[in-house]
Amino acid sequence: MTEMTTRRLGSHGPTVSALGLGCQTFGRSRNDAEAEVAVGTIQAALDAGFSFLDTADFYGSGVSELNVGRALKGRRDQAFLSVKFGAQLSPSGKIIGLDGRPNSVKNFAAYSLKRLGVDVIDLYQPGRADPDVPYEETIGAIADLIQEGKVRYLGVSEVGADLIRRAHAVHPVTALEIEYSLASRFIEAEILPVARELGIGVVAYRILAEGMLAGTLPQGQPPEGAHFLAPRMHGENYTRNRATAKALDDMAADKGVTSAQLALAWVLSRGQDIIPLTGVSRPARIADNMRALDVAFTPDELAALDRAFAPGAIVGSRYPEFVLKWAAR
């Protein structure tokens, strides 16, 4: 089995696993059997060398945090816990708003600490910027938590260059969590250069773009009954985008790896300051994801992917409009 490698999280952050474990799927565990699978998967990832665990208090309305907490009993020192907060949910689980008020931030943190069963959160960040609260006030509340010893490092998520600078002026930012993949390269123009200027690590999520880059979806129209979140996965957008993604599928076949492994390897290749998040639903998938660490590209291969997935090649928004208004552009 491939051995996990490590990377430093930002210029002044800790050393963590080169791949992070995205824990959103573990918020869907609604019964004891599903929870046991979730806990077992997290523990298997720890055994394989994953240390960076990424969760949020709104993943399953706290269920993900509960499962992560169960998995970490007696193993806290093996994990670097990254936690997002700030989304307001309806009883059905739909995001209905954001809350970045300082008192709310501290309240969110108190409940996360309890659910996770830990004394300190390693990296804490608002999942989105609340448009009704000055960002400096939200960030200042996290800075207070750092002073109190309840949080170790400040993170930000899905924000543009201006808000990154504003947050960093309040307290040094260690990491930016944001979407980045062959299908979504918008950060390269301004956001990524600013993060690098300030020594901020990048935690990249949605590496496979709802499966578009996984090589498992059909060409042409989406499968009947499929319900994808992003407009880029609907109708004509899907048809065009899967045709574009065929370049990745073909290269993966030539190299003897899966499209998903190649897409993950591409993000890894973008710099030692980037930590991709992988979604693993069961222990058997851990080794598949880790094989991306062994994938190497020739200059010609990188140039070919750059051409195939140039800006504008993937059409359609990455989120529906009601979410996009809260996301980095």
In our burial notation (b when 16+ CB lie closer than 10 A, e otherwise), range 137-172 reads: ebbbbbbbbbeeebbbbbbbbbbbbebbebbbebbb
Q: Read off the tokens for 52.
A: 């960076």
Is residue 224 within 8 Å of residue 189, measured between CB atoms? no
**What are the φ/ψ torsions at residue 292 (nearest 5 degrees)?**
-65, -25
* Strand residues in the chain grouped as ranges (E): 6-8, 15-17, 20-22, 52-56, 80-85, 87-89, 95-98, 121-126, 151-157, 173-179, 201-205, 274-279
Which residues have a Cβ under 8 Å from the Cβ of 260 and sit 6 or more positions away? 208, 213, 214, 215, 216, 288, 289, 292
Q: Any idea which residue has 């300082």 for tokens?
A: 102
DSSP H or E segment with residue 113: helix 102-116
In DSSP terms, which residues pair with 255 in a beta bridge? none
Q: Annotated catalytic, 59?
A: yes
First to last CA, the chain: 38
Among 59, 135, 153, 180, which one carries the catalytic annotation? Answer: 59
Is residue 282 within 8 Å of residue 37, measured between CB atoms? yes
Is residue 88 within 8 Å of residue 96, measured between CB atoms? yes
DSSP string, 36-47: HHHHHHHHHHHH
| Residues known to be catalytic | 59
